[in-house]
Each structure stands twice: as C-alpha cells, then as structure tokens.
Amino acid sequence: MSNVVISGTGVFTPKEVITNEELVVAFNAYADLQNEKYADEIAKGERDAIAYSSEEFIFKASGIERRHVLNKSGILNPEIMHPTFEKRDDDELSLMAEMAVEAAKSAMQQAGRKAEDIDAVIVAASNHERAYPAIAVEIQQALGIEGFGFDMNVACSSATFGIQSAADMISAGSARAILMVNPEICSGHLEWRDRDCHFIFGDVCTAVLLEQKNLAVATDQFEILSTRCLTKFSNNIRNNHGFLRRSLPEGLSDQRDMQFMQEGRKVFREVVPIVSELILSHLKDENIDIGDVSRLWLHQANKAMNDFIGRKVLGRVPEPGEQPNILHEYANTSSAGSIIAFSQNNADLKDGDLGVICSFGAGYSVGNVIVQKRRM
Ligand code: CO8
C-alpha cells in the first residue's frame, strides 16, 4: 500500500534495574513510615493505613519481574519515592533527547543510514519533558539531520500512530526517510506511593527508521502493508498534570490525579474486545488470513491481557514465540513496549512472513501496523 519500509530499529535500555523484591521492600518501608506518622488518625478511623505491596501479587497480576529505570536510588528511598535527576542547563542535551540519540544511532546503523539520508524526526511518547522547543528538533540537531521535526502524544499508542504518520508522509513525498523515536521516562510520571500501580512502568527508548522502499539498503526490511488507528474517549486512564496546574485554586496544585491514574480492571475489560476486533477487521479488509500471520508484537501492559488478545485473534493458544512477551524484563514502557518486542523478536522471520505490531492504551487508543518481511 505505502511503498514504505521499516529498515532499522534501536532500543536504549537504562542500566539500572529494580526487581519486584526491591520495589516491594521500599514500598513497605514507605508504608511503615506513613502509618507511623499518621498512627493517631488511623487509630481514630480518620485515615486508612497503607497496606503492604507483595511480589506474588505483582507477578501474578501483571507478569512483570523487573523494570529498567533512569534513577533507582530516588525511587527506592522511602523518604523520596520518585526518580531524582540533576538539573541540566539549557545548552545540555535534555534527558529524552539523550535516550533518543542512543536508540536512534542503533536504528540508523541497522538501516545503513546516515543523518544526510533522513529528512525528519518524530518524537512519539506519552510524556514530554517540556512543551517547546520540540524534543524532536533538539534530536534533529544532535544527530545533524536537516529537514523538520515535531513531537506527538497518543499515550501507549504513540509509536504506532507515529509509524502511521511517518509512513503517510513518506508515501506522500514529504520525506525520504523519517526517524520515529519513543523516549519513555515513565518513572517520572508514575505514582510510586500507590500500591495499585507502583509496579507497572519502566523507562526505555525505542527508535524506528522508516524510508521509501526503493531507496532502502538494509538486508532485512519490513514493508508496511497497511496501518489503522482508532481512538475512543475514556477517563479510565488519565492524568491532569497539564500546564494549567499552577492556576488551580490554592491547595489543589499537587493532587494524586496529576500522576498516572487508571481503573485497571475496566481498562482490561473494555480494551481487549476493541483491540481484538480492530486487528481482525484490519486484516480482513486487507484480505489477509489470520492463519498467514507469523507474529503478533503486542503492546506490553499485562501478560494475561496479551494472552487473552492472542487467543481471541488467533482462535487458539499462541505458540511460544508467536506473541513475544518482554514485560517480565521491562514492565510496561508505554509506547515503546510493542517496538521492543518487535525489535528483539523479528530476526528469525523469513522473506514474505507477515506480522502485526499493535499498541493500545490511554485515550482509549489502538494503533495497528501490518508488516511483511523483505530479505534483500
Ligand atoms: N500488592 C498486593 N495487593 C495489591 C497490590 C499490590 N501491589 N495492588 C493492588 N492490590 C490488591 C487490590 O487492592 C485488590 O484488593 P481487593 O480485592 O481487596 O480490593 C486486589 O489486589 C486486586 O486488585 P486489582 O483489581 O487492581 O488487580 P488486577 O488483577 O486488576 O490487576 C492491573 C491490576 C495489573 C493494573 C490490571 O488490571 C491491568 O494490567 N489492567 C490493564 C491495564 C492497562 O492495560 N493499562 C494500560 C495503561 S498504560 C497507558 O495507556 C499509558 C499511559 C501513559 C503512560 C504513563 C507513564 C507513567
């Protein structure tokens, strides 16, 4: 459809790791401190005691075993409970740009491409370190890419929506090649003091290089056969930390809803059918039989959720490796999850094999990309 290929991918993985065990120890120490501090109010029934978190629950409910983060010490300090970063001067590379440059270099190397071959940069992520200048423009400068760049946000679906945007622009002739990057500093936005969600996210950055099929030089390429995106409004995953925060009435400028909030059960129940239906109808409209699809690279939020979607889409239990899971190692990395799964699990596919990259999350949003392996 598009004459566009993915010719390279890259993943920047932060060195620091937090295991479930370490996370739970820190959370429970925080709970003890708080419960001690508010012991009188708790005894009078004016406040609920904070319940302990548990490793068993986390693994069983999510499939997550550990997560990579940019700063471990702040998150695990029961007096702090969030990452801490040094202030950077405006003329230093920002954190998101730094991660993205690393991931982008790997994608460019895999694609056999240099800065002069690329015409645009898209930063597609769930949180942006600042509003302007766009992080994409900073990355463009850091890599020496001419042309243009912009930032976009569709939460967990940012990468697939970014792939669609890039593929459409390349098809239309606006650019020869586009670097689409997903720097996700989820740790900065997660409420580590809330046991319902403190285990969910990790940090990472992925990069995807897309280019005109007839210009691509990489040995292994994935032709984009078709993309489909869908959004449907829901408040079940939300945060209210926008730029009007300072303007709220006194006492409301630091509320729980300014970090990640979700109704996990409702999300699970409502998103699974939307995703399964979208994957199946998209394949049908492209005259592709699900039996001919070799791999599903799904958004990585919850292992049970992905097992469920895999079963619904394939009509059977997926074979090992057919629907790769990276959650145990990375946790939910928002938009980057399906791209990590794709990047780390495509080398064995043969020329002509078909696959689907699908992400889903806040919005609600779902992005589906049908690809076909090309071996030159
Ligand atoms: N330890 C022990 N017990 C716990 C813990 C814990 N850590 N947490 C909760 N419990 C308890 C609860 O209190 C509850 O107890 P009770 O039954 O007495 O009330 C019980 O365990 C069960 O709790 P839940 O019903 O919440 O548990 P679930 O089985 O539903 O699992 C999940 C929770 C894992 C969150 C699950 O619902 C899930 O994964 N749902 C899907 C969510 C999803 O896909 N979300 C996508 C969001 S990501 C996205 O869109 C990107 C947003 C932007 C990124 C932001 C970056 C930070």
CB 88 within 8 A of CB 132: no
Question: How many C-beta neighbours within 10 Å does residue 109 have?
Answer: 14
CB 23 within 8 A of CB 198: yes
Which residues lie across from 11 on neighbouring strands?
206
Say what the pLDDT of residue 244 is. 85
Provide the pairing of β-strand 293-298 with 354-361. parallel
Q: Using most ligand atoms within 8 A of CB, pick from 153, 196, 263 the residue to mutate for ligand 1.
A: 196
Q: Is residue 20 part of a domain?
A: no
CB 375 within 8 A of CB 350: yes
Query: Is residue 80 classed as helix, strand or coil in its secondary structure?
Result: coil
Q: Which helix (H) or strand (E) holds 293?
A: strand 293-298
Say what the pLDDT of residue 184 is. 98
Which residues have C-beta within 8 Å of that of residue 44, sequence separation ≥ 6? none
Indicate if ligand 1 lies below 6 Å from the C-beta of 61: yes
Task: Please state the atom number of ligand 1 nearest to the C-alpha of residue 360.
Answer: 50
Indicate if ligand 1 lies below 6 Å from the C-beta of 268: yes
Say what the pLDDT of residue 183 is. 98
| 357 vs 349: CA distance, rounded Å | 14
What pTM did the predictor assign?
0.95
Indicate if ligand 1 lies below 6 Å from the C-beta of 15: no
Pick the closest to residue 364 from 276, 180, 219, 233 (CA basis).
233
Q: Using most ligand atoms within 8 A of CB, pick from 62, 265, 303 the residue to mutate for ligand 1.
A: 265
The CATH code of the domain that includes 313 is 3.40.47.10
Q: Is residue 42 part of a domain?
A: no
Q: Is residue 5 part of a domain?
A: no
Query: Is residue 345 classed as helix, strand or coil in its secondary structure?
Result: coil
Q: Is residue 175 part of a domain?
A: no
**Is 186 a residue of the active site?**
no
Question: Contacts by 347-351 with C-beta closer than 8 Å and gap 24+?
Answer: 347/220, 349/294, 349/295, 349/373, 350/375, 351/375
Task: Please state the atom number of ligand 1 nearest to the C-alpha of residue 24.
Answer: 7
Say what the pLDDT of residue 332 is. 97
Which residue matches tokens 């479930």? 20
Half-sphere CA count of 215, side-chain side, radius 13 A: 16
Indicate if ligand 1 lies below 6 Å from the C-beta of 201: yes
Which residue, by CA, sits nearest to atom 13 of ligand 1?
196
Number of domains in the chain: 1
Indicate if ligand 1 lies below 6 Å from the C-beta of 62: yes
Distance 42 CA to ligand 1 centre (A): 25
Domain that holds residue 327: 222-375
- The tens place of each residue's pLDDT in the chain, 376 residues long, gives 569 999 999 999 999 999 999 999 999 999 999 999 999 999 999 999 999 999 999 999 999 999 999 999 999 999 999 999 999 999 999 999 999 999 999 999 999 999 999 999 999 999 999 999 999 999 999 999 999 999 999 999 999 999 999 999 999 999 999 999 999 999 999 999 999 999 999 999 999 999 999 999 999 999 999 999 999 999 999 998 788 888 888 777 778 888 999 998 999 999 999 999 999 999 999 999 999 999 999 999 999 999 999 999 999 999 889 999 999 999 999 999 999 999 999 999 999 999 999 999 999 999 999 999 999 8
Indicate if ligand 1 lies below 6 Å from the C-beta of 260: yes
Which residue matches tokens 């319902």? 196
Q: Is residue 329 part of a domain?
A: yes
Say what the pLDDT of residue 2 is. 64
Which residue, by CA, sits nearest to atom 10 of ligand 1?
196
Q: Using most ligand atoms within 8 A of CB, pick from 27, 30, 268 the residue to mutate for ligand 1.
A: 268
CB 97 within 8 A of CB 135: yes
Q: Is residue 202 part of a domain?
A: no
Distance 262 CA to ligand 1 centre (A): 8
Task: Please state the atom number of ligand 1 nearest to the C-alpha of residue 187.
Answer: 57
Which residues have C-beta within 8 Å of that of residue 367, sequence separation ≥ 6? 154, 157, 159, 160, 161, 163, 164, 227, 228, 229, 230, 358, 359, 360
Q: Is residue 238 part of a domain?
A: yes
CB 274 within 8 A of CB 312: no
Say what the pLDDT of residue 245 is. 83
Indicate if ligand 1 lies below 6 Å from the C-beta of 126: yes
Q: Is residue 10 part of a domain?
A: no
